[in-house]
C-alpha cells in the first residue's frame, strides 16, 4: 500500500473524497505518526544489519540515528561483550585519558549516542563493526502512488493499521470522540495481536543482547 492508497481510503471512509476538510499534508503527518507508533509498540518489525568502519586508535563511534534497539555488535565476526556505563567506570578508570590502550576490541558501552570500544582497535587491525539492530521507519514525504517517497516503510500486514490510525485522527479532528475511541481501540487491539504473533515466532531466535535502559543513553525518546 502506498501513501496515496491510505489517503484515498481515509478520505472515502471519512466522507471527504475532495479533501476539503482533511488535506494530503495532514494525512501525510498522520501516516508518519502511525508508522512511528507502530514501531514503538513492536520494535522487532524493522530489523537491520549494517557495518561501521573503525579507525586505529579511535574508541568512540557515533551510532546511526535510526537505531531503536541494538541487539548485537561484532568485530571481525566475533561478538563483543556489552557492559554498562557503571561497569566501564569501574573497569576502565583511564577511559578518558589519551592515548588509550589499543588491541582487538572485546567490550563496548554506550554514552551520548556513541558506542565506546575497549580496547580501541589497533592501527594494524582496524576493521568494520557489524551492528544488528531494530530501526525507526523512514518517513514518507509525499502522498503519491508510484514514487518510492510515497512508500509506507512497514511490512504489508501493518498497512491497514496505518489506515485505522489515520481514521482515528480524522475522527478526533471532527470532534467525533466515539468514533475516535472505536478506531483507536481497533488499532491498539490489532497491534497487540501482531505483537503476540511476533513474540511466538521469535522464540526460536537467540535472545537479544541489551543493556539496562538506565545505562543505555543511545535509546531514542
Sorted by where each begins, the domain ranges of the chain are: 3-44+140-203, 47-135
Within 10 Å of residue 15's Cβ, how many Cβ atoms?
Answer: 9
Q: What is the pLDDT of residue 213?
A: 45
Q: What is the pLDDT of residue 145?
A: 80
Residue appearing with cell numbers 470522540: 177
Q: What is the pLDDT of residue 198?
A: 55
Query: For residue 180, is the peptide bond before it cis, meaning its omega torsion is within 30 degrees of 0?
Result: no
Inter-helix orientation angle 177-201/159-173, to 10°: 160
CA distance 216 to 219: 6
Spatial contact of 129 and 72, defined as CB atoms under 8 Å apart: no
User: Between the CA of residue 204 and those of 15, 198, 199, what are the distances in Å?
Assistant: 46, 11, 10
Spatial contact of 79 and 97, defined as CB atoms under 8 Å apart: no
Q: What is the pLDDT of residue 196?
A: 65
Spatial contact of 44 and 196, defined as CB atoms under 8 Å apart: no
Q: What is the pLDDT of residue 124?
A: 77
Beta pairing class for 102-103 and 120-121? parallel
Q: What is the pLDDT of residue 197?
A: 58
Host H or E run for residue 61: strand 60-62
CA distance 183 to 188: 9
Collect all residues with Cβ–Cβ distance below 8 Å to 88 and sequence separation of at least 6. Answer: 95, 109, 116, 118
Collect all residues with Cβ–Cβ distance below 8 Å to 153 and sequence separation of at least 6. Answer: 35, 46, 137, 138, 139, 140
Residues in the chain where the model's pLDDT stays below 70: 94-95, 196-221
The pTM of this model reads 0.78
Amino acid at each position: 500500500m502506498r501513501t496515496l492508497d491510505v489517503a484515498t481510503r481515509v478520505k472515502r471512509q471519512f466522507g471527504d473524497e475532495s479533501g476539503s476538510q482533511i488535506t494530503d499534508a495532514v494525512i501525510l503527518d498522520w501516516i508518519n505518526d502511525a508508522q512511528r507508533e507502530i514501531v514503538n509498540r513492536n520494535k522487532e518489525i524493522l530489523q537491520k544489519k549494517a557495518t561501521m568502519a573503525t579507525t586505529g586508535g579511535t574508541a568512540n563511534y557515533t551510532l546511526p540515528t535510526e537505531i531503536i534497539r541494538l541487539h548485537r555488535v561484532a568485530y571481525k565476526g566475533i561478538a563483543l561483550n556489552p557492559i554498562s556505563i557503571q561497569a566501564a567506570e569501574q573497569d576502565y578508570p583511564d577511559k578518558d585519558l589519551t592515548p588509550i590502550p589499543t588491541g582487538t576490541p572485546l567490550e563496548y558501552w554506550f554514552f551520548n549516542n556513541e558506542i565506546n570500544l575497549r580496547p580501541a582497535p589497533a592501527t594494524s587491525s582496524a576493521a568494520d563493526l557489524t551492528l544488528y539492530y531494530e530501526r525507526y521507519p523512514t518517513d514518507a514525504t509525499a502522498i503519491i502512488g508510484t514514487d518510492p517517497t510515497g512508500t509506507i516503510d512497514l511490512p504489508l500486514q501493518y498497512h491497514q493499521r496505518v489506515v485505522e490510525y489515520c481514521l482515528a485522527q480524522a475522527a478526533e479532528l471532527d470532534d467525533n470522540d466515539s468514533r475516535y475511541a472505536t478506531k483507536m481501540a481497533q488499532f491498539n487491539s490489532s497491534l497487540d495481536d501482531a505483537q503476540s504473533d511476533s513474540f511466538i515466532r521469535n522464540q526460536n531466535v537467540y535472545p537479544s543482547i541489551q543493556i539496562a535502559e538506565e545505562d543505555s543513553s543511545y535509546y531514542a525518546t
